[in-house]
Amino acid sequence: MLDTANRTAFDEGHELLRDQVRKFFDKELHPNLDRWEKEEIVDREFWRACGEAGLLCPTMPEEYGGLGADFGYNAVINEELAYAGSSAGITLQSDIVADYILAYGSEEQKQEWLPKMISGEAITAIAMTEPGTGSDLQNVKTTAKRDGNHYVINGSKTYITNGQNADLIVLVAKTDPNERAKGVSLILVEATREGFARGRNLDKIGQHSADTSELFFEDVRVPITNCLGEEGHGFFYLMNQLPQERLSIAVGAQASAQRAFDEAVTFTKERAAFGKTVFDFQNTRFTLADLATDLQVGWAHLDWAIKRHLAGELTATEGSAAKLWHTEVQWKCCDAALQLHGGAGYMNEYPIARIWRDARVQRIYGGTNEIMKEVIGRSL
């Protein structure tokens, strides 16, 4: 269990939610984790249960069915989900997609989708990455060409979280292929549209219970009114949302790092070698002391970043730095914790194996850590 006694970013309301989340996960998440890992997808029933418990999109206004809460509520849910060792895509819906629709959507779009997202009836994805285009979103090849009062969409996307379950996709496409940033728009595509197809559920190293898919668009027609915000402003919308997206990744990374550390402490205190516990060896204690120091610094920094974001002050550079630092610490903690497990750490029956596998992608998605360094470097 996460120790939150000395946290500074949260108030009593946040901690009451944390208690609710833990009880909910004990009932609805923990008993199903292993099955979801094998089936490589999370049940839609879990999404609806999250909706009924008020754990989806809590920052959305009450007029759409949300709690009208602050991002701290998202952070609490994110921390508890990551500490539980789950890769369920609910944080993508709550932390990223919902805010795009709220910030840039028409009232009709908000009324149509936000209540369904909050209840868990609708599952969403955001489709950025393409087979030949990763972090360079100005150079996407998927097109949305005007034809009367419709767009005709052609292209493909890959590595899309929630891709198998998604009812609605926020698609990054070129409405003007002759432009770079100014040619990018965000288009809402319902999964029921003719010409839309899901590819395979991709076989990943980790995060097995997170459905991650290829998506294909062949002459998919959607109304012009499905454009999210203004045409040609998509790239700028994406940049505006980056601080929260990258902070969200940092939140999960820190909680996962803590879980890895806690697993290592428990295991080394129980495992005997050469007449004493593994914990009693100086190397073990020094390794854990190093990790404990990183975690202490990490929690202090994370609370600082959350409070800055709640005040509307977290910059894109600071969000990138948070994503970079916390995911690097996550990998350090997970790898060291697995090493301290010895051969047991390589066995899937031990939680550290899943935690370690799931951690590897954190330094890649949301912008690779190399891109984070580029963003930070440009600000100097």
- Sketch the domain layout of the chain as residue ranges: 12-122, 125-233, 241-378
Confidence of residue 187 (pLDDT cuts 50, 70, 90): very high
Confidence of residue 251 (pLDDT cuts 50, 70, 90): very high
Q: Which CATH number does the domain 12-122 belong to among 3.30.70.2740, 3.30.1490.20, 3.40.50.300, 1.10.540.10?
A: 1.10.540.10
Cα 109 from Cα 102, distance rounded (Å): 9
Mean pLDDT of 200-213: 96
Neighbours of 370 (CB within 10 A): 11
Residue 149 CA: distances (Å) to CA of 101, 153, 249, 257 = 21, 13, 38, 49
Architecture of domain 125-233: Beta Barrel (2.40)
Catalytic, 245? Answer yes
Exposure string over 80-104, b if 16+ CB within 10 A, otherwise e: bbbbbbbbbbbbbbbbbbbbbbbeb
Q: Quickly tell me which residue has 């899901």 as its tokens.
A: 198
**The dihedral sign for the CA sequence 149, 156, 163, 91:** negative
Task: Render pLDDT for 225-240 as a digit per residue (tens, 0 to 9).
Answer: 999 999 999 999 999 9
Amino acid symbol at 23: K
Percentage of the chain modeled with pLDDT above 70: 99
Contact 257, 334 (CB under 8 A): yes
pTM of the model: 0.95
Task: Render pLDDT for 252-299 as a digit per residue (tens, 0 to 9).
Answer: 999 999 999 999 999 999 999 899 999 999 999 999 999 999 999 999
Q: Is the confidence at residue 133, as pLDDT, over 80?
A: no
Q: Is the confidence at residue 310, as pLDDT, over 90?
A: yes
Task: Render pLDDT for 64-99 as a digit per residue (tens, 0 to 9).
Answer: 999 999 999 999 999 999 999 999 999 999 999 999
Catalytic residue among 245, 313, 318, 374: 245
Q: Which CATH number does the domain 241-378 belong to among 1.20.140.10, 1.10.10.60, 2.60.40.10, 3.30.540.10?
A: 1.20.140.10
